[in-house]
Amino acid sequence: MPYSTFRPELMGSATLSPSGRFEAGSWQSFTLVYTAGAFGIDDTGSLKIAFRFATDLGPVQFDDPKAPGYTTLEASNGATLEARWEFKRNIRPWSRSLYIGVMKHFLKPGDTITVRFGDQRFGSPGVRLQTYCEKIFEFHVLVDAIATYDYVALPVSPTIEIGPGPGITWQALLPTLVRAGAPFRFGIKIDDAWGNPSDRAARAVRLVSSRPIAGLPQTVELKSGQFGATLEGLAVLEPGDLTVDVLDENGALLACSNPLRITASDAPTVHFWADTHGQSDETLGTNSAREYFAFGRDRALIDIMSHQGNDFQITGAFWRDLNVATAEFDEPGRFVCIPGYEWSANTAVGGDRNVMYRREGESIHRSSHAQITEGGDMADEAADAHEAGALFEKLAGKECVVMAHVGGRYADITYAHDGKLETAVEVHSDWGTFEWILHDAFAKNYRVGVVCNSDGHKGRPGASYPGASFFGAQGGLTCYLAPRLDRDAIFEAMRRRHHYGTTGNRMLLSVEATTKSDATLFVRDPAVFENATTETTRRAIMGDIARIADEDIELHIEVVASAPIERLDIFDGPNLIETVRTYGPADLGRRARLTYAGAEYRGRARTTVWDGSLTVSDNAIAEARMFNNWNLDRGIRDQTAASLSWKAVTTGNFGGIDLWLEEANAGAIRFETKHCRGACDIGKLGVEADIFPGGGLGREVTLARLPERMSETRLRLSRRIAVAKGRDTRLLVRVTEEDGHRAWSSPIYLFR
């Protein structure tokens, strides 16, 4: 531990009331009483009551007795106490902390400090608990008894349990592509208001499939204490597409599943969904590593996972135990669990990378031992790699893949990149959306795929929501195209970039290029692998690298989305070739869409606050809805027929507001935000958006019109596209749904 370990048993004790289990995101009041130990606390000594990095507990404040989070402090001997809520001034993982300074006096042994979090005696509703579940939520008490600012953690700190609220949002989860006759599972997931799977939804539901499914019951009885339901061993014998509806007792729709395609029994690849990036409370996350894996497999219903703890917090003991855990959970044919870690160097020397090993028992090459300097953990310091080039040297020849990540620290792939190892860049996570890292790869002529993951810290891999924190997006998912579900097949899919990423939804996406004459398909990138194995083909799928003789190719795209399709963009690298929409000018009506997008800059403080307002003149707002708003504290405020205001953030992603107006073509819309303002005549708004730049990194507001109601979830098209000479033609698509979800295909790399 990075804190002092001097005689913690002499530093006092702490109690908390009430105790027990509490609902995530609920308003509560807690009284923590600290009793001074053998040293007392000297004049200008202090306490810290600390909480883990990921927590969104709060707000905590000391000035307004009637406002949320009002917190009071009282010393039994009348000492003056100074209080500060410190967002990130304590040693991780205990980043959030309440600092309590003892001023103008001191505490004797046995004196107490009483802290009332969410003191309700004067009208405050209390303090809001963190919005996600944690079996052991700790009020971590640290003591600076000698006034040296060298803190000692109490041997035992008070804890509570945080559980889910009532189930509100229903989800029905299917795979997206399976072979005819092959078994698959169907899951019903019920989330509380904050996205936690709830065990508080007791009712009978009816299941209606659009096509017959062998083994699917007509009804399912959900019981209290049960987290939804998972039905195993289902099958469909004939190819085709289907969805499953979940209906309540009266026939009302609770959820419609994502689309499932049954393909031919001899199809070369099928789909497996993954979140390979997140961590547990052994480093900077929530709950244990085994609970982390179990959540993804059993509650989020994903197929592939890896644990990616910050390397400088992974002790030797935890690394060994993590390898034991991945071996325990890995079950070929059902669940792939991959040993790995996040190489967490500063951006100046390469930035974050995700390292995933094919097998257990490999060495961990840390960026540093910054927080694990005791207990013999420095013994393997010689294995460290302090900058990205050294990491790639250490990993050379090992069975592993590396992915470039944008988190607190972002990967600088222009500083270092190894095409043999680094197969993909992470374009979306809880931290936001980062197409710029893919563009960095294009600028350097790297051949990489696209992945999306969560980088979740809240114990919800595969179903990761930001809660009330500074994270601005729902966590992503990656769909791997592989012949079967085991490590060999998944690692081969990673190495060949056979995958696409989404912002958390499960749409079916297919992108293929076909040639008129035979082409040479490279199993490994010939730019970095000597004598790369080749195959002869006339078909290339996402991620493939092929040398072709033809001057052009036929690009085939198919989307079966989880919501109506708003647009599809076709790119050659960073360059837009074409935008395809499922509607045209004749379909527009009374609906206008305002979007806000972008980030402050690439780094840790990228969050952009989009709190703003709009007015409508010579028309009226009949209805307004927000999309891509993942925080219940934000949203539309103060709506009237002529105006509304809102609170929102983006972190490279986008969100917005849909307005249904009383008249289609009358009047004007005027908006104002901190970053830009503007106005448009409603009658002049069309399919193509009016753009209002807002500085920063891709920061802007747009205004456009949409059809009043959208229903088209399918799109299939082909395009003849020229292939350049002297460089790669890098063909990829981005799909945007009406609900704000997106998907990106890994590029197909073609050259002549």
**For residue 626, how many C-alpha atoms fall within 13 Å in the half-sphere facing its CB?**
23
Is 394 inside a domain boundary? yes
State whether 282 and 361 are in the same domain. yes
Pairing mode of beta strands 177-179, 260-263: parallel
For tokens 């189930």, name the residue: 167
Paired with 748 in beta bridges are 731
- The string of DSSP codes covering 520-557 is EEESS-TTTSTT--EEEEEEEETT-EEE-SSSEEEEEE
Is 281 inside a domain boundary? yes
* Closest to 639 (Cα-Cα) out of 650, 629, 625: 625
For tokens 């013999």, name the residue: 376
For tokens 């010579």, name the residue: 618
Residue 2: predicted pLDDT = 64
* Closest to 481 (Cα-Cα) out of 450, 524, 519, 437: 450
State whether 346 and 278 are in the same domain. yes
Cα separation, 53 vs 371, whole angstroms? 15
Is 711 inside a domain boundary? no
C-alpha dist (Å) from residue 722 to 157, 549, 751: 66, 12, 10
Q: Could you tell me the two tokens for 97?
A: 């902390």
Residue 469: predicted pLDDT = 75
Is 715 inside a domain boundary? no
- Ramachandran quadrant class, 331 (left: phi over 0; alpha: psi -120 to 50; beta: rest): beta
Count of CB atoms within 10 A of residue 427's CB?
28
CB-CB contact of 737 with 449 (8 Å) = no
What are the backbone angles phi and psi of residue 308, rounded to the nearest 5°?
A: -130, 65
State whether 455 and 544 are in the same domain. no
Cα separation, 534 vs 347, whole angstroms? 36
- The string of DSSP codes covering 143-201 is EETTSSS--EE-SS--EEEEE-----EEEEE--SEEETT--EEEEEEEE-TTSPBPS--
State whether 491 and 525 are in the same domain. no
* Closest to 33 (Cα-Cα) out of 163, 161, 162, 154: 154
Cα separation, 136 vs 162, whole angstroms? 8
Residue 570, classed as helix, strand or coil, is strand
State whether 615 and 730 are in the same domain. no
Cα separation, 178 vs 11, whole angstroms? 60
Please report, for the domain that includes residue 613, its CATH number.
2.60.40
CA dihedral angle for residue 219, residue 220, residue 224, residue 226, rounded to 10 degrees: -170
CB-CB contact of 42 with 150 (8 Å) = no
Domains in the chain, number:
5
Q: In Å, how far from its chain's centre is CA 390?
A: 29
What are the backbone angles phi and psi of residue 613, rounded to the nearest 5°?
A: -150, 160
Residue 374: predicted pLDDT = 80
State whether 235 and 260 are in the same domain. yes
Burial class (CB within 10 angstroms; exposed 0-12, middle 13-18, buried 19+) of 78:
exposed
Domain stop point among 460, 475, 504: 504
Burial class (CB within 10 angstroms; exposed 0-12, middle 13-18, buried 19+) of 264:
exposed
Cα separation, 416 vs 389, whole angstroms? 6
Cα separation, 245 vs 253, whole angstroms? 7
Count of CB atoms within 10 A of residue 6's CB?
11
Residue 434 DSSP symbol: -
Please report, for the domain that includes residue 527, its CATH number.
2.60.40.10
State whether 235 and 280 are in the same domain. no
CB-CB contact of 457 with 53 (8 Å) = yes
State whether 496 and 357 are in the same domain. yes
Is 686 inside a domain boundary? yes
CB-CB contact of 508 with 519 (8 Å) = no
pLDDT < 70 regions, the chain: 1-2
Q: In Å, how far from its chain's centre is CA 502?
A: 10
* Closest to 559 (Cα-Cα) out of 715, 376, 665, 689: 715
Residue 4, classed as helix, strand or coil, is strand
Is 425 inside a domain boundary? yes
Residue 235: predicted pLDDT = 98
Please report, for the domain that includes residue 72, its CATH number.
2.60.40.740
State whether 536 and 597 are in the same domain. no
Burial class (CB within 10 angstroms; exposed 0-12, middle 13-18, buried 19+) of 558:
middle
The DSSP element (H or E) to which 592 belongs, if any, is: strand 591-599
State whether 335 and 473 are in the same domain. yes
Q: What is the 3-state secondary structure (H, E, C) of 79-123?
A: CEEEEEEECCCCCCCCCEEEEEEEECCCECCCCEEEEEECCHHHC
Q: Which domain holds residue 730?
A: 506-582+720-752
Cα separation, 347 vs 546, whole angstroms? 33
Burial of 617-654, coded b for 16+ CB within 10 Å and e otherwise, reads eebebeebebbbbbbeebeeeeeeeeebebbbbbbbbb
Paired with 614 in beta bridges are 644, 671
The DSSP element (H or E) to which 331 belongs, if any, is: none
**Cα angle at 639 between 637 and 643, to 5 degrees?**
115
State whether 447 and 577 are in the same domain. no
Is 713 inside a domain boundary? no
State whether 413 and 288 are in the same domain. yes
* Closest to 626 (Cα-Cα) out of 668, 595, 600: 595
Residues belonging to the chain: 752
Q: Could you tell me the two tokens for 264?
A: 């031919």
pTM: 0.96
The DSSP element (H or E) to which 289 belongs, if any, is: helix 289-294
Please report, for the domain that includes residue 482, its CATH number.
3.20.20.140
Residue 437, classed as helix, strand or coil, is helix
Helix count and strand count (H, E) for the chain: 5, 57
Residue 129 DSSP symbol: P
C-alpha dist (Å) from residue 605 to 94, 409, 472, 719: 19, 10, 12, 41
For tokens 């034991």, name the residue: 324
Is 76 inside a domain boundary? yes
Domain stop point among 504, 525, 540: 504
Domain stop point among 504, 528, 548: 504
For tokens 């040398």, name the residue: 547
Residue 310, classed as helix, strand or coil, is strand
Pairing mode of beta strands 270-275, 304-306: parallel
